[in-house]
Every structure is written in structure tokens, then in C-alpha cells.
Structure 1
Amino acid sequence: MASEITYAEVKFKNASPAAVVEVPPETKKHEHHPQKYPPWLPWLISLLLLLVCIAVIIALLGEYVQAGYRREWRCVSAVPRGKGQDWMCCPKGWKRFQKSCYYVSDDKMPWAESVQNCTGMGSHLVVINSKAEQAFLTNELRQSQKGTNYYIGLRAQVVGHWRWVDQTPYNETAAFWRTGEPSNVAVEMCVVIHSTTESHNWNDARCESHKRICEAAAVTA
């Protein structure tokens, strides 16, 4: 007799299903990509900076040319004839005395603006150092309207303490005050020179609008 094969379903106790490993979803990596600039950008920036520098240089040269080379000069021989070709030169319209050039203004300005105006022309308010220089200026001013005041480079920061604009020590023995001057009062801290025939013609005055005399060293060529 053929034997019968019996299949039986067998269940095991404490059997657990295969462990399921949960794999977390793949996290996306956020990579930082640096911003890329065109390779020609640094060259462009350098070119722009170069152009700005060139423009500044041209502007400065333009001012120098306008103030210097375009100025007309008048020159006289600084040595006797036959002993060389040295010349003493002053800008056109300026007066020369010894080794200095003098500008006598036609307009009026307060003290501070007068200082700036002379400085802008490469000079300073006149500093009078000798009797000969004082005589030269007095003679030049005789051609002006009598009684007109011209600033010179002498001023007091403290009443009675006079100082020249170029820091030259004030020498009382080389001062040319009018009789009774200076009055040495707080409201008159600037000094003017009068257009008069008198040799002593300085006066302390209010720092208001007056004409002015600028002085610069003559140029040797």
C-alpha cells in the first residue's frame, strides 16, 4: 500500500517576524556654492580706478598750469650787463622791489579773506622789514586815492602783541606807526597802511573790508 504523505502546518512559539529595519529617507545635502563673478570684473574695477586717478591728476595739473605757466611774467636783469643772463621776474601787474614782488589790490576784503586771497596767489600779506621797503610802498601808494587803507601782514591776537603773518619777529624799532598809533584797543586788531605822503603811515584798525598788499619772492630765471 502506498504510504500517504501528510503535511502539517507547524507553528513555533515565540517566533517573531524578521525585524524590519527602517531606513530614514536620504537627507539632501545642501552644498554651498560660492557666487561666481565674471573673470573680467576685477580688470574692469582696476580700469575704473585708474581712470579716476588720471582724472584727478589732470585736474590738478590744470589748476597748476592756470595759476603758474599761463601767468604772464615781467623780468628785468638781475646783474649788470655782460655778467650773465640772470633775471628777476614778477607776475604782470605786480611791482618789484629788490627780491620781492608786490600786488596792490583795487578791491576790498575783510582780513581773513585778504589772507586767503594772497595765499591763493602764492604770496602773503606784505611783511615790511626795512625803511627802504616802507619808503618804496609809501611811494607806490601815493598814486592811489588819498586816505585809502591797505592791509599789511601785521595783526594782534592779544591787544598790543603784534605778529607778522610769516612769523617774522615784530621789531618795534622798524615799525612805522602814525603819530598816536597804535591805539591798542580790542576792536582794532589789524594793521593798515595809509596812502599818504607821510613816511609813518601805519594804523591799527578794525578787521573789516580794506584793500590789501600781497608780497611774494621774485622768481630768478
Structure 2
Amino acid sequence: MAVEIMNRRGSVSPGTAAPAEERSCSWMKPWVFLVSALAIKTAFVTIYLVALLSRKGDQPTALQQAFTEWRCSSAEPQGKERGWMCCPRGWKLFQKSCYYISGNVMPWAESVQNCTGMGSHLVVINSEAEQLFISEKIQQSSKGLHYFIGLSAEKVGQWQWVDQTPFNVSAAFWRKGEPSNKDDQKCVAIQKASEPPNNWNDLTCEHHYRVCEAAAVTV
């Protein structure tokens, strides 16, 4: 079950039937009541989730400060109150993270800044399941061929993640023949045309699409 929420509250006005048409339109009354009840229930759920996302007891994350529209999915409760995992609208939820597949291109340095400005970072891939999920979402995109991930090298062959996660050679998903380890190819992207999970490609740090990642907000 997923619920979309926004930062503004809508009012709900239950429908009423006109007295003059009461006899001819009496069959509509159950439907009017049902629609009104569902609208009221949705309003209560929306207000409840908005209240949880903005509780005074929680320090807002950078992601919460950057976005005002959210989509929440039911999750395993982590306490007496928390049973929803929320991502900004347009982001994709997987396990405990939110992912953004960009619709425009930027150089590597600007891609890093863009993700940071949204309260996230270029994606750091820790498992094959995560790699397959991201690859699937990229393949569903109608955009270009390459999507930056958060892996780069200051020196040829010395790969490091943007969040300082140690690079694990056994959990890398290079295309056949990659990395080429050339002096001008120090950034890594997922290549949409390659068969997952092995679709990483080292390439120049010029204009490409990107994948951002942030921890989901749990409420």
C-alpha cells in the first residue's frame, strides 16, 4: 500500500443531494456516503503522515528539508509508531533507501553537487540485489546510455566511493573488459545497453546522467 502526501492540507466537503430531486436520485445516496467516507479517511491518513514527517521531536534530515511532496509505503514497524517508509515524490524506494534517476546530464563534479544539494549522494552500490534494482530502473528510462554512480578514482585503478565506503573488488559489477584504467577515464557509470548485473563502465567524467541515493525517511 502506498500513500502520496503533500505539505498542504485539503478540505473535505461531503456531498448532499438536492431536496427537489430526492425521490428521483435516492439511489445515489449510498455512493455519495461512500465517496465522502473515503475522502475523509484519505484526508486523515494524509494529515497523520504529514504530522509524523514534521514532528518536533525529530530533527529533519537534509532530504526532508529539500522536498515537500512524498510517497510513503507500508513497512515493517520499527517501534510502536513507525510503520511507513517515505521517499520524495518521483524517487524509487528499495529496501531502506530512496533512488533518483536523473533526466538531464551533468559532469561528474556537478553531479556530486546536485545529489548533495538534494540531501543525498551519488549511489553507493553494496549488493547484487541493489545493483539489479538500479539497473532495472535505468533500463525503464527513456533517456541516455550512461548513468554516473558514486565510484571514481583520483589515481588510475584506485577506486573509491563518494561516502568513503571501502571498495570491495568481489562486489564490483564491471562489464567484460572493464575497467579500462585509462588516465582520462576515472569515473564510473552504469551502461544501460549492457546486460545486468555486470554493466559498470569506467569513462570520462564529462556529461552523463546520474543516480542519487538517500536513506528513506521512516515514520
CA contact (8 A) 1:129 1:174 kept: yes
- Going from structure 1 to structure 2, the CA distance change for 1:99 and 1:70 (only over 3 Å counts) comes to closer
Change (3 A) 1:85 1:156: closer
Residue 141 of structure 1, CA deviation: 1.2
Q: Percent identity?
A: 63
For 2:188, give the aligned amino acid: V
Verify: 1:153 aligned to 2:121, yes or no: no
Quickly say closer, same or farther: Cα 1:70–1:147, change in 2 above 3 A. Answer: closer
Match of 1:208 in 2: 206
Match status 1:74 vs 2:71:
yes
1:125 aligned to 2:119? Answer: no
- Measure, in 2, the Cα distance between the counterparts of 1:172 and 1:67: 34
Q: In the alignment, is the contact (CA less than 8 A) between 1:102 and 1:214 conserved in 2?
A: yes
Give the TM-score of the pair, scaled to structure 2.
0.67
Structure of higher CA gyration radius: 1
Q: What is the 5 A alignment of 1:45-194?
A: 68=65, 71-79=68-76, 85-145=82-142, 148-194=145-191
Q: For 1:19-63, what per-residue CA distance to the aligned partner results, in whole angstroms no more than 9, with x for missing partners?
A: xxxxxxxxxxxxxxxxxxxxxxxxxxxxxxxxxxxxxxxxxxxxx
Q: Following the alignment from structure 1 to structure 2, what is the Cα–Cα distance between the partners of residues 97 and 154?
A: 20
Summarize the Cα distance change of 1:110–1:91 in structure 2 as closer, same or farther, 3 Å threshold: same
Q: Which has the higher mean CA deviation after the structures are superposed, 191-200 or 143-152?
A: 143-152
Question: CA offset at residue 85 of structure 1?
Answer: 4.9
Secondary structure of the structure 2 residue equivalent to 1:75: strand
Q: 1:218 aligns with which of 201, 216, 219?
A: 216
Q: CA deviation at 1:68?
A: 2.3
CA apart distance, 1:146: 7.7
What 5-or-longer segments of structure 1 have no aligned partner?
Answer: 1-63
After superposition, what is the alpha-carbon deviation per residue over 1:138-184, rounded to whole angstroms, capped at 9, x for unaligned? 11111124861000000000100000000000001100000000000
2:111 and 2:66 map into 1 onto residues whose CA distance is 24
Could you list the structure 1 runs, at least 4 aligned residues long, displaced by more than 2 angstroms after superposition: 64-70, 144-147
More helix by share: 2
* Distance in 1 between residues matched to 2:155 and 2:62, nearest whole Å: 40
Q: In the alignment, is the contact (CA less than 8 A) between 2:66 and 2:118 conserved in 1?
A: no
Indicate the SS of the match to 1:213: strand
* Cα offset, 1:102, TM superposition: 0.2
Unaligned runs of 5+ in 2: 1-60
- Mapped to 2, the partners of 1:102 and 1:142 lie a distance apart of 14
Aligned-pair Cα RMSD in Å: 2.3
**Residues of 2 paired with 1:142 and 1:196: CA distance?**
8
Q: Distance in 2 between matches of 1:70 and 1:112?
A: 22
1:131–1:67: structure 2 CA closer, same or farther, 3 Å change rule?
Answer: closer
2:140 match: secondary structure = coil
